[in-house]
Structure formats: structure tokens, C-alpha cells
Amino acid sequence: MTNIAILSSFLITLISVEVVLSLECYVCDRQEDNLGKCAQTIRTCEPGQDVCLTEISWGSTPYWQQGALKQYYISKNCSTKEYCAKYRRDNMPLCTHIWYQDWKCSECCKGDRCNYYIISGANKIGGLRNVLFVSVVLSIIYKIL
């Protein structure tokens, strides 16, 4: 192999290791929409946190108000697979999507910044970017070797 090939495969290995070790997730706490913090704040997760968690809830403001309108609350964070799966399971009975009730749903996803989109019900969007990234890296490695 030429020096350049060795160097690039080294760099790619480094990048891949980086991708595996430090997951990045969007992080926000009970925001009213998916535009501000929830779409802009990115955190590098702790080692061992291997999924991104998204929670969407629907309800009225925490303090009582007559005729208070219900609205969405969106939270996102890093999580471990085990914790997120348990959290999701616990929320499952609350995940009704019935507009006149309060409800709460959560999702776990794998991959950098995979919790950008709110996944609610059956419409899953996103995640394609990572598939593309992995296939580009693989095809580069394939060409070098």
C-alpha cells in the first residue's frame, strides 16, 4: 500500500471508532416544538449510552387553568438501551394519541442524531443519513484494500 492509502485507512478507522464510541443525540427538555432547542442542541453521549431517547407528551400546562389548551411537550436525551427500552415499555399504556386525554409516548433509536425527527405512531422518518454514511465508508475501505 502507498503511504496515502495507509494514512486514509488509518483515518477511516479512527472515524469509525469515533462513531461507535461516542453517540450524539439531540437533547432538550419539555419543549413546545421540534424547532428550537430540540432541533439544535446536540450532546455527545457518555460512554455506554448507546441509544437516543425521544419522548413526546400531550397535555395541558402543569398549573391548573380553566380551559387550558393542551399542547405537545418534547424531550430528547441520550440513554442506555436497557433504560430506554424499560422507559418505553412503561409509557406504552399511556401512549394513546387520544387528543382529549393526556398521553405520553417514547422511542429509542440507534445512530448519531437519530432523534431529530419525532417518531410518533407508524411514520418513521430519518436514520437514512447513517445508512448512507456507513455505506460510503465501506465503499471507501473496499477501494483501498
Q: 78 or 105, CB closer to ligand NAG?
A: 78
Q: Does 32 bind ligand NAG (CB under 6 A)?
A: no
Is the Cβ–Cβ distance between 30 and 78 less than 8 Å?
no
User: What are the E-state strand segments in 1-145?
Assistant: 24-26, 28-31, 42-44, 51-59, 71-79, 103-109
106 binds ligand NAG per the rule CB under 6 A: no
Q: Work out the widest C-alpha separation in the chain, in whole angstroms.
A: 73
Q: Does 27 contact ligand NAG by CB under 6 A? A: yes
- Does residue 29 interact with ligand NAG by CB under 6 A? yes
Minimum CB separation of residue 29 from ligand NAG in Å reads 4
Applying CB under 6 A, which of residues 34, 54, 57, 77 lies at the interface with ligand NAG? 77
Amino acid, single-letter form, for residue 141: I
At residue 66, φ and ψ (nearest 5 deg) are -70, 130
How many residues belong to the site for ligand NAG (CB under 6 A)? 4
Residue length of the chain: 145
- Shortest Cβ 144–ligand NAG spacing (Å): 37
Interface residues with ligand NAG (CB under 6 A) are 27, 29, 77-78
